[in-house]
Structure 1
């Protein structure tokens, strides 16, 4: 069971504001995406040996934007409605516990791209995304089962994508011997 930890949780004012709940993960995800320079990330992605069913690079931006929006809306529903004074103390506590877990999972989500593409650390990135997947399975169970069924269901596409992304992360790591440090340099040399 998670615990509500105010220092590790986004302020409740964000969860209680629908546009802020939706736009926060989209904005943070976009900022992280641009901080790793999209053209460089695309070139690196294409230079790695890929497992079967790897999607084209253009798919990631729209997919993540949609998923970030859905997760933001789920957080709004769960915390805004879950912490209503009309609810039982147990429901309010579960909604708040989920808010802490949501904040932690958002941090794990935002760490993956810099780990994988920036630092070229596929082992750490794969551990990160597997922890992210597990935390979201639990979050969907927590919110969907005890607070707001719709909030839990909104996380299902995100969980499915995280499962696929875990496969891609581990697949790229494995196929490239868990070392991405020289692959891009080799690809650039071949292009010249």
Structure 2
């Protein structure tokens, strides 16, 4: 197990304040989404070949808002309750380790959209989402088995969505020969 790395971890004040813990990932995800110019993102999304089961573009905003809220609440529960001085040293260590992993995964999560839609780098975006899937699968296990079972279960929908997002990211990359430049750009070349 790695350890708690304060320089890579959100401050305790974030985790210990329920509204901040829930709203921070929602706000950051919304900021990244809008910074990518939603109409341009939607146009690009609809122009690429997609694997079966591709959801319509309007699904992503509500889905991510719910998932960000759930992950923020899970983080609050795990770190706030897990670092209580009434807990064992092992529980506190697991909660702190999870706080570092949560902070890292949040940064990776926020990087995916700029990688995929901004830079149009499907290989890197797929590696990013695979890392997210692995970290969050482990985080759900760690928090669920060592800190707070509710926190672990709250991450299950996020892990499931990341599995689906991995399929979409890799499928879209593969079906477009790992080249996500827009068709009008391809025609100009």
Give the structure 1 partner of residue 151 of structure 2: 151
CA contact (8 A) 2:50 2:172 kept: yes
User: Aligned equivalents of 2:80 and 2:182: distance in 1?
Assistant: 47
Q: How does 1:181-192 map to 2 (within 5 A)?
A: 181-183=181-183, 185=185
Give the structure 1 partner of residue 113 of structure 2: 113
1:183 Cα deviation from its structure 2 partner: 3.0
SS at match of 2:62: helix
Gaps of 5+ in 2: none
How many residue pairs get aligned? The number is: 188
Q: How does 1:39-188 map to 2 (within 5 A)?
A: 39-183=39-183, 185=185
1:184 Cα deviation from its structure 2 partner: 5.4
Q: Deviations over 1:89-134 (max 9, x none)?
A: 1100110000000000000100000000000000000000000000
User: Aligned equivalents of 1:160 and 1:74: distance in 2?
Assistant: 15
Q: Deviations over 1:28-77 (max 9, x none)?
A: 00000001000000000000000000000000000000000000000000
CA contact (8 A) 1:144 1:151 kept: yes
User: Aligned equivalents of 1:149 and 1:159: distance in 2?
Assistant: 15
CA contact (8 A) 1:2 1:101 kept: no
CA contact (8 A) 1:144 1:152 kept: yes
SS at match of 1:55: coil
1:185 Cα deviation from its structure 2 partner: 3.4
CA contact (8 A) 1:25 1:106 kept: yes
Report the CA distance shift for 1:100/1:134 in structure 2 as closer, same or farther (over 3 A): same
SS at match of 1:172: helix
Give the TM-score taking structure 2 as reference length.
Answer: 0.97
User: Aligned equivalents of 2:183 and 2:9: distance in 1?
Assistant: 38
User: Aligned equivalents of 2:29 and 2:70: distance in 1?
Assistant: 13
Kindly report the root-mean-square deviation, in angstroms, between the aligned alpha carbons of the 2 structures.
1.2
